[in-house]
Amino acid sequence: MSIIIFIKILIVCLLGAVSPGPSMVVVMNNALFKNRFHGILTSLGHGFGIGMYALFAVLGIALIIKTNLFVFNGIKFISIIFLIYLGVKSIISKSKLDFGKYNLNDGITSFSQGVSISLLNPKIFIWFIAIYSQFMSVDNDLFFNTVLVLTAAIIDALWYITLTLLVTSKIALDFIKNKNGLLQKFVGIIFIAIGFLLLIEMLV
């Protein structure tokens, strides 16, 4: 693998990671309204999910799913339900901020949410089919394919971890401490809005 190709892979992965969408909202939600620990776990979960998609792309599974409209639309529909669920949960939540809480079960939930939102996001799926597929070839060896999978996962996780560290800085936390309830409801509305936008996009 040449350094030029590797740089291209890095740029494509970074551009895919920084694109705003449901994933960013989920990570920021867990980072702000739980704590930095949960934000990082959600980021790692999201990176793991992205790595799964990269693996699907390498194995050709993603293209098979794309051509099966029933499966593809099923992924879209589950994504919509998941986003609306997160939105309603955020709006009705009465939890208080607790930046010192490190609960294993809650941590597993945060990691799982990161995995779920990455795997259920149809835009990520389409991105891997349309953009990442340019690096796919029957001539790729095991090393090249491994780099494709690991680079996608690591770049994504690092981006969201960086985002988590920024939004959980002292300045950011001081700002949200007195606005916790309002911000949670605002984030919930964003979740629901994204869900309905995806539903409209799916139906038209």
Integer angstrom CA distances of residue 198 from 16, 87, 94, 164, 195: 19, 14, 28, 25, 5
The torsion angles phi and psi of 141, rounded to 5 degrees, stand at -90, 180
Integer angstrom CA distances of residue 18 from 11, 78, 124: 11, 23, 12
The answer to whether residues 17 and 155 touch, using CB atoms and an 8 Å cutoff, is yes
What b/e string do you get for 17-38 counting C-beta neighbours within 10 Å, with b at 16 or more?
A: beeeebbbbbbbbbbbbbbbbb
Q: Which residues contact 103 (CB under 8 A, 6 or more apart)?
A: none
pLDDT of the chain, 204 residues: tens digit per residue: 678 888 888 888 887 788 777 888 889 888 888 888 999 999 999 999 999 988 887 787 656 666 777 877 777 788 788 778 878 887 887 655 554 555 556 788 899 999 998 988 777 777 776 676 667 666 778 888 888 899 999 999 999 999 899 888 877 666 665 566 676 777 778 878 878 887 887 787
Per domain, the residue ranges of the chain are: 21-203
The answer to whether residues 54 and 129 touch, using CB atoms and an 8 Å cutoff, is no
